[in-house]
Structure 1
Amino acid sequence: MEDAPRPITQDSLHAIYVERSIRELQRAVQEEEDVLAELRRGVAGAAPLTSATASLSIMATAYEAAARSDPFLPFADSVLPALLAMRKTHGVMAESETYLGGEGSKSSPALGEVQKWLAMDKARLEDQRSLQVALEERIVALQSGLEARGTMTAEEKRQEALDKLRTKKSDYDRDTAALLKSLKQFIQGRLGPMLAAEELGGPVVGGMVDVQTDDLASGFSSQGKLRKPPSGDKAGKNGKDRNEDRRQRRIDEIWGPRASAGEDGEDDEEEDRSNWDEATAAAVEMQELTEELLNAQAGAGGDSSAAYVTIARESAAARFLVRSKVAHFHPRDATKLRLIDFGRELDD
């Protein structure tokens, strides 16, 4: 009794196809080698090419022959297409892992950079959407306001405009008061001692930033350096009183007797003269000068010639304003000073 034929399994069928594909490839390789050997034998006995035209003719003939020949196609059940597809897929996967910064990759992690760019683009998109929503809400509010104004009477419109002007004026007044307060604090705390030092023969404002009020009592030398205060008062209380009197007379000579009467210029019997020093007097002078200049500028009504104020002397305060490009002297009269109108052209 003969044995029944063994059934062909999927693995055995695949092995048969692989073996046939290998034999087919070997046959195709052998055919190409035979053709190449024939070409080599022909070239060995042929004369060398002497011109580019002959070389071009040979190449054209070869291309035409290759175009007329049938392409190599594997048989229907060949595993060659699947192997080529697997090799191509494996190469693409390896390149993708390298580009994405996979394990063992020496290139920079491009995936992290792409994710960072994506997050930045998402943030920009959210900002644009928020801006769009805000603009749409603003457009709706403006349209509603226009519709409401369309039903207002002329008197209501005038009243609305008047209320807006009053609100702006109130805001301007509040900002002006805050600025004047800050200016006063700066003059009294920082600028006053430096102005006093310049008036007493010391460096100009800014040349000595940290000026102590007690140092001003000793004055400055002819070289503009601080004099050393006396080490002791041998005359006792009377000598100290005489030094204070001389100091006060010096203040009166430079800044005038008003500095001894108080900031408002009114005599006050209860005012302590010892509270007034060089820094305080210089600060009062600067405050009065700036106030006078501001009032003159506001009352000039755009007339630059009416904005000048007459100063009794060329003080350190006036020189500081001129150096700071805040004010300037009259071109033909050095006793007149005015603020620079930053809102107009300098056409004096």
Structure 2
Amino acid sequence: MAQPQSESLRKIREYVEEARGLQEDVVDFDASSTEARLEQTVKELQARVKEQQAALEKLRSQSHVDIETAAYASEDPRLKLQQLAAVTDAYKQLKSTATYLPTQGSVLPALLAARTIQHNVQGIKEAIASTQSQLSTKEATLRREEANLHDANLLTQTMQNRIRRLRSQHEDRSQKTPAQLARELIGAKRAKKENYDADMQRLGEAMNNFINDYLSSMLAAEELGGPVVGDMLNIEDDTLAAGFTKKGRAKSSKKPVSDKTRQRRIDEIWGKKAPLDAEEEEEEEEPPTEAEAADAEMRQLIENLFATLMGPGGGKAYFQLERDSAASRFLIRAKIAQFHPKDARRLRLIDFGRELDD
């Protein structure tokens, strides 16, 4: 047992010494002689070129055959046979000629190998760039196809659910009498109408609060020559009473404006109110402000537009405006109403269940 172990240790030591000796060996490469070897290789190549040129000139001088003519096969069978024989002799002579090889120590093989490697590296780089471009294109196509597949799966699932619901409804209806179906249909219509009425009441209250709290003062400011609705928020009654300059800026409110002046201006812009009854005159203590007048005009305009929409002409009928007002312009900017294509004094609400233009 001890003898095989000592033999293994001896082989390990020999291997270590051999590896250490290989590491300590110096590579036989003299960098200082590289330039001289290059010069020697260039001289050899130039000498070889001169020899080939001299042989070519000698061949031209000894031969009386036109090289350009001899390069193509003759139409004459005899001349063509002579040409083939000459080519055969030339190949036989060249076959016995020794192939030119660079001398020992020449750097020509290294240069040729470097050129080949450089061409291969350049080709690999171009192939990598082309592959990367193709990969990016394929990845984009894959993502697009995955998105389309996802959409198709969603559509398929939705259609399957719809088919199951329709089948279930059909089976349910086939088991009921026409009277039962009629009662269920009437009940569903009533429930839907109640929901619509509740939503309409809720939206109407929200619209009234918006007009009363925010929109009326901004409409009044635009009518008085101030900024467009939305450019100036939280406009006070004192600012409306003082008015605006020609540039649309609020005037100073240090000097109070008389009620008669305000009432005359309100009457000129929004028109005079209808005469009140005795009971209404008692309840009417103060004249309306500019915001209140704009509020009443907006509500009246919306009411007239709704009445026109629900009237005989339906969504194709237009309401005739008495004047161009800030209220009508706001409805146009908000995409709630639209003018007649040929008459800016005619206005109608947009029927969102149809196209904008008939």
Residues matched between the structures, number: 225
* Structure 1 residues 342 and 151, CA gap change in structure 2 (3 angstroms): closer
| Structure 1 residue 174 corresponds to structure 2 residue 186 | no
Which has the larger share of helix?
A: 2
Give 1:194's aligned amino acid: M
* Structure 1 residues 281 and 273, CA gap change in structure 2 (3 angstroms): farther
Q: Is the 8 A contact 2:217 2:291 kept in 1?
A: yes
What residue is the counterpart of 1:154 in the other structure? 178
Measured after TM superposition, the shift of residue 285 of structure 1 is: 0.6
Alignment of 1:229-308 (within 5 A): 229-231=253-255, 243-258=258-273, 268-274=280-286, 276-299=288-311, 302-304=314-316, 306=317, 308=318
Q: Distance in 2 between matches of 1:24 and 1:297?
A: 112
Q: Distance in 2 between matches of 1:169 and 1:195?
A: 34
Q: Distance in 2 between matches of 1:189 and 1:166?
A: 34
Measured after TM superposition, the shift of residue 180 of structure 1 is: 1.1
Alignment of 1:42-53 (within 5 A): none
Q: Distance in 1 between matches of 2:310 and 2:294?
A: 24
Give 1:29's aligned amino acid: I
Measured after TM superposition, the shift of residue 169 of structure 1 is: 1.3
What residue is the counterpart of 1:11 in the other structure? none
* Structure 1 residues 320 and 139, CA gap change in structure 2 (3 angstroms): closer
* Structure 1 residues 345 and 147, CA gap change in structure 2 (3 angstroms): closer
Give 1:315's aligned amino acid: S
The 10-residue stretch of structure 1 (20-29 or 177-186) with the greater mean CA deviation from structure 2: 20-29
Measured after TM superposition, the shift of residue 30 of structure 1 is: 5.8
Give 2:311's aligned amino acid: G
Q: Distance in 1 between matches of 2:286 and 2:350?
A: 37
Structure 1 unmatched ranges of 5 or more: 1-15, 40-47, 53-137, 233-239
Alignment of 1:1-348 (within 5 A): 22-23=5-6, 25-29=8-12, 148-231=172-255, 243-258=258-273, 268-274=280-286, 276-299=288-311, 302-304=314-316, 306=317, 308-348=318-358
Q: Distance in 1 between matches of 2:7 and 2:270?
A: 117
CA RMSD of aligned residues (A): 4.0
Q: Distance in 1 between matches of 2:174 and 2:247?
A: 75
Measured after TM superposition, the shift of residue 271 of structure 1 is: 2.9
Could you report, residue by residue, the CA deviation over 1:111-163 in whole angstroms, capped at 9, with x for unpaired residues? xxxxxxxxxxxxxxxxxxxxxxxxxxx99999887655442111101211121
Q: Is the 8 A contact 2:308 2:314 kept in 1?
A: no
Q: Is the 8 A contact 1:260 1:276 kept in 2?
A: no
Q: Distance in 1 between matches of 2:307 and 2:187?
A: 27
What residue is the counterpart of 1:76 in the other structure? none
Give 1:336's aligned amino acid: R
Q: Distance in 2 between matches of 1:185 and 1:176?
A: 14
Q: Distance in 2 between matches of 1:21 and 1:292?
A: 116
Q: Is the 8 A contact 1:259 1:281 kept in 2?
A: no
Q: Is the 8 A contact 1:329 1:336 kept in 2?
A: yes
Secondary structure, counterpart of 1:274 in structure 2: coil
